[in-house]
Every structure is written in C-alpha cells, then in structure tokens.
Amino acid sequence: MDLGGVRVLDIFAGSGSLGIESLSRGAAHVTFVDSSRGAAAAIRANLAQLELGDRARMVVSDVRRALGELQRSHESFDLVFVDAPFKDDMSAEVLALLGEFQLVAPGGWVVVEQSKRAPAAPPAPQAHERAFVATIGDHRIAFYRRLNPAPGAQ
C-alpha cells in the first residue's frame, strides 16, 4: 500500500513499528506519541538508523497532554494509529479526544487495536463513522473514518 503524502499520528507508539512502516511506504511525516522515555529513545534510534528522522517527530508526553498540544498547533492527520496498552485500554477516551480536537483530516482514518476481551469496539467519535471491525487472533481491529463535511459547511 502506498501512503505517499500522508501525515500519520502513531499514538502509544511503543517500538514505533506502525509509524516506521508508514514512512517506509511513503508517508510524508509521522508524529510518534508515547509517555515512555525508553520507547522514545528506541524510536529515535530506529529512525536514525533508517535515515528517516527528517520525516518524523517524537512527542514524549501523556497522551491527553500530547493531543491537546497537537490541537493547539492546528495539526491534522490522514491516518492515526491507536494501540493503547491492553491492561489500561484508553481507546474510547483517545477516540473521543481525536473527534473533539478535530485532529483527523476529513476523509482520514483511525485504526484502533484492542484486546478481543475488551467489552466492545469504541463508538465512533464526533464527525466519524466506524467503518469496519475485525477480530484477528487475540486482537480486535476497528477502523474509523472522518466524514467529509457537507458542501458549504465549515
């Protein structure tokens, strides 16, 4: 899949594998968010080794604070990965913040990974639709799409 020109947000980035794979498939830029300094160091090292650091930014912060900062700087993303720790699944809260802060570009996608043991795929955030949910092994993957505004709407 070609992701040419796409801006990606990798939330709970961990090793950075989803964002780094996006860069390898042509994404224009990836913003990685993780609260762990160790994870951030590993992502930075991987980006440097792959010579991809000029197309990436690392935000080491609590996810709520990071999303607020991205909103204040008027960021917009075409593809967002949400892979919250299964033990402390914040997927529904993060999805709600993405909708409230309008961080997903019109027509953009959010991909949420959860344990299949989680109660249910989170509801679609404001101005989004849940397009597809699949269970693969021990994981549930849900795809959400930001709706395009109606012609003439802001």
CATH number of the domain where residue 65 is located: 3.40.50.150
132 vs 125: CA distance, rounded Å: 14
Residue 60 lies in a domain: yes
In sign, the C-alpha dihedral spanning 117, 141, 11, 19 is positive
| Model pTM score | 0.94
pLDDT of 8-25, one tens digit each? 999 999 999 999 999 999
pLDDT of 117-146, one tens digit each? 988 889 999 899 999 999 999 999 999 999
- Give 31's pLDDT tier (boundaries 50, 70, 90): very high
pLDDT of 64-123, one tens digit each? 999 999 999 999 999 999 999 988 899 999 999 999 999 999 999 999 999 999 888 899
Domain span including residue 113: 7-146
Rg (CA), the chain: 15
Number of domains in the chain: 1
Q: How far lies 14's CA from each of 10, 63, 115, in Å?
A: 9, 13, 16
110 vs 128: CA distance, rounded Å: 9
pLDDT of 44-70, one tens digit each? 999 999 999 999 999 999 999 999 999
Residue 107 lies in a domain: yes
Residue 35 lies in a domain: yes
Residue 151 lies in a domain: no
Residue 154 lies in a domain: no
